[in-house]
Structure 1
């Protein structure tokens, strides 16, 4: 399989995704595209300067959309000009307009690979990419609640003093304010989290996870390490056809919207969307409510 990856957007997040891909040797060729061509060129140059010290070689270039025609994966990583937005939905007007102008240019090249979206609001923008590109839904997905799930595992790991890798379970729904922890499926080692945490602690952890990104944003001005790591892992899974299960933003046919839920990811993108059978009635309601938030925001984009 072609190991060529494109990144559209070379801000903090896009640049950190590029850094992760090169240092981990995930792809053989990397194309950086940004409206600021000098920024993209400089990022590519600095990445090339590292190559004598990396474990493998990556051909890193910058340029226009025409270089993306044969990419296996494109990561959409454009961001708003103003970063300090507590509710990711506040970024929608600016990012949706940018994405709707970019996608036709990409598709005119003949691109027929996998789109992985990072741009916020993640679920809405992912659905916009699917609509504008007219690619099958399986070829378009977003990082969704993968980062939120990482944050949940990190917070619980710190609380119980175990590695976050020993925490299982997912955050579901919107990558935003309406997300929720599906406690029915969360385990710490072999113990169900519901047996270890009080109702008050569950609410506290939900707020901690939801606000974690905002707290990082307020402290350093942006967030990038977590989402870049999540995105790079997804790229590797696609290129390796690893068929791993992760909570990503995929198209839910019943809800008619993209939302974060567990899916099998492989070479063809979304191989299978897993059922949410173990959710409680209350959790099912929260998932539906979260989908409704995303659906309304998507409708607003195309209302005019």
Structure 2
């Protein structure tokens, strides 16, 4: 079965995502897009060069800026990055990235695209909502990577603290993929054991800050972040294409708050099968969630109030 993925934006993240998709044999065809058409051609050529060393053949196409090639794509990843990377607050990227997305999405829809949009571009939640608005697709067919990466970082941080593999930690980071995110401590488990009571409130805040700042620290050291988000995105694509019905913390539409925000949802071949309830959160966690929704909502309205 042909499974075609389009990646719009071939910077560090888009290129690493393509690499992950090819090495894992997740899809049968990848089309790469970027304003820098020579770079796209080079990325495609290098990916083809490694095909003899991977388990499954993947067709690699350099699309440049010809979005008509996306008419029959199953899923498109928006991975446009800002020209200036060293920004601690992802909201600072909004003016630049929102303009690019508002220009590109209508072109893709005009080409006849009728699949699923997955967004990586920051600020993730706001841009995901912009894609939903500009595309006119159903809310179940537009989602963002949201707090999937933040949750991975939380598991890594706690895994290091407890000296266990991060896969032994379960639970979620919720809210904005940004400054207002929070660890939902009521959901965090080490195997079957709730870990919340192992930490004082001060320690919880310290660990939350370590998780939030992890991306910024990577950015300062190497100039960009890409391995984590590319791996998270590849896993989300795999879940959709396999119709796996797995629960992941992604940026989805919260109908009550009228905003896209990171929270657990079931993913399948249609995109978002179901947004799960937050009923098990504590009162304080719900308050943090509401505040995070407000941050995202205000930023979204800034784009459309001008």
For residues 280 and 196 of structure 1, what CA distance do their matches in structure 2 show? 17
Matched position secondary structure for 1:18? helix
The equivalent of 2:154 in structure 1 is: 152
After TM superposition, give the deviation of residue 194 of structure 1 in Å. 1.1
Partner residue, 1:60? 60
1:15 aligns with 2:15: yes
- Using the TM superposition, give the Cα deviation of residue 201 of structure 1 relative to its aligned residue in structure 2, in angstroms: 1.4
Q: How far apart, CA to CA, are the structure 1 residues paired with 2:56 and 2:41? A: 21
Give the match for residue 300 of structure 1: 302
Moved over 3 A (4+): none
Question: CA offsets per residue over residues 67-95 of structure 1, 9 Å max, x none?
Answer: 11101010000000000000000000000
Alpha-carbon contact 1:146-1:247 (below 8 Å) kept? yes
Cα offset for 1:265?
A: 0.4
Determine if the alignment matches structure 1 residue 282 to structure 2 residue 303. Answer: no
* Equivalent position to 1:130, from 119, 129, 132: 132
| Equivalent-residue separation in structure 2 for 1:154 and 1:114 (angstroms) | 30
Within 5 A, what are the aligned runs for 1:197-212?
A: 197-212=199-214
Superposition pairs for residues 210-225 of structure 1, below 5 Å?
210-225=212-227
- Report the secondary structure of 2:178's partner residue: coil
Aligned pairs (5 A) from 1:39-54: 39-54=39-54
Post-superposition Cα deviations, 1:135-179, rounded to whole Å, max 9, x if no partner, equal: 001000000000000000000000001111110110000000000
Which residue in 1 is equivalent to 2:25? 25
Of residues 77, 80, 97 in structure 2, which corresponds to 1:78? Answer: 80
- Deviation, structure 1 residue 195: 2.4
- Equivalent residue, structure 1, for 2:251: 249
Aligned length, in residue pairs = 304
Structure 1 Cα separation of the partners of residues 95 and 243 of structure 2 = 35
The match for 2:265 is: 263
Residue equivalent to 1:236:
238
What is the Cα deviation at residue 2 of structure 1?
3.9
Asked if residue 163 in structure 1 is aligned to residue 174 in structure 2, the reply is no
User: Deviation of residue 189 (structure 1)?
Assistant: 1.3
- Normalising by structure 2, we get a TM-score of 0.98
SS of the residue corresponding to residue 129 of structure 1 reads: helix
TM-score by length of 1: 0.99
Please list every run of 5 or more consecutive structure 2 residues that lacks an aligned counterpart in the other structure.
Answer: none
Q: Which residue of 1 aligns with 2:5?
A: 5
Q: Distance in 1 between matches of 2:77 and 2:260?
A: 17
Structure 1 unmatched runs, 5+: none
SS of 1:265's equivalent?
A: strand
User: How far apart are residue 190 of structure 1 and its match?
Assistant: 1.6
In structure 2, distance between residues paired with 1:175 and 1:220: 20
Structure-2 separation of matches of 1:194 and 1:23 = 38
Q: Matched residues in 1 for 2:236 and 2:118: separation?
A: 8
Partner of 2:99: 97
User: Structure 1: how far apart are the matches of 2:198 and 2:67?
Assistant: 51
C-alpha distance in 2, partners of 1:21/1:69?
Answer: 20
1:19-53 CA distances to partner (integer Å, 9 max, x unpaired)?
00000000001100111111111000000000010
- Root-mean-square deviation (CA, aligned residues, Å) is 0.7
